[in-house]
Homo-oligomer: A and B are copies of this chain.
Amino acid sequence: MRSKILELLRSKHGNCISGAEIASQLGVSRTAVWKHINELKSAGYHIESKARSGYCLLECPDKLLPELVKHNLSTSFMGQNVISYEDIPSTNNEAKVLAAQGAVEGTVVVSEAQSTGKGRLERSFFCPAGGLWFSVILRPDFLPQEAPKCTLMSAVAVARAMRDMGLDAGIKWPNDIYCQGRKLTGILTEMSGEMDRINYLVVGIGINANIPLESFPEDIKDKAGSMSGILGHDIDRVVFLQKILTYMENLYVDVLKNGFDWALDQWREYSITLGQLIDVVGVQEKFAGVAEDIDEDGALLVRTDTGLRRVLAGDVSIRPR
């Protein structure tokens, strides 16, 4: 009902609609309308109540609320179920619980801030308000070893959406998004599965959207950046999230239907790692070489003095030219 009332208010483009008209169009009492309007107000919607002409929506809150994310979202399942929070420890943890309970594919958990956001290998991740912190539940008919496809595909979706917003974004293997030498995004994919099938994947995406550069902690100040910091203005996070979800769905559906080639080609196109001299720090090894390609499994192929090496996990740093 709340979404329907909001829809009606929005359809007036800032003009008023009377409580009586809302009540009659939606078949509820005027008291119910009044109650829902008050709820919307306390959720942050700026709604003016005028004595004779009714209600008028002046501004939506700058929040990633379900009804805002889903408004005009053209996907068929990605982001069609949204659960939003003001501040939770970790959207990935919440999404894992929901996935285990059977949440539908494409469910999105989003939070304005995360108190214990984390990156790969339990590394902590700074997740203040203004950023875009969300997790998507996927249930691909994949073997566990194919799971990295979803991470790579998600990185492509984010990079594309960032380019739409005017940023020259590129992907550093495996799944960090960089712009002007600064890291803007981290992706942490978690999985639950058996040996020959995935039960669910949770793709956690953290994006430094509207975060003033001066608010970054000292230790990451030189390496991290934000979209607003580079663009010089805040972005509309709802529009941006919708773009990501749309690109993710397109890529995902294509990967499931036609295989990984198209997504992989786009990953290659956006890559800032391929062709570069890199240092690889793996679990038990350290070596340098030229990043030549990635393969179907998402492994990085590195040309070294002793031959081609296949890197499945590890950290990569690109040597400045």
A interface residues (Cβ-Cβ under 8 A, vs B) = 120-121, 141, 143-145, 147-148, 151, 174, 188-197, 199, 283, 298, 312-314
Contact = CB atoms under 8 A, between A and B. Distances in A.
A15 B151 CA distance: 65
A102 to B, nearest CB: 13
A199 B147 CA distance: 15
A193 B196 CA distance: 14
A96 B53 CA distance: 58
A153 to B, nearest CB: 12
Contact of A194 (B189, B197, B199): B189
Contact of A151 (B143, B148, B195, B298): B195
B195 A174 contact: yes
A193 B312 CA distance: 15
Contacts of A151: 195
Given A120-B194, A141-B283, 11 more contacts: A121-B194, A121-B197, A145-B145, A147-B195, A174-B195, A188-B194, A190-B194, A191-B193, A191-B194, A196-B313, A196-B314
18 contacts: A121-B194, A121-B196, A143-B312, A143-B313, A144-B144, A144-B147, A145-B145, A145-B312, A147-B195, A188-B194, A189-B194, A189-B195, A191-B195, A192-B192, A195-B313, A196-B312, A196-B314, A197-B313
A143 B314 CA distance: 11
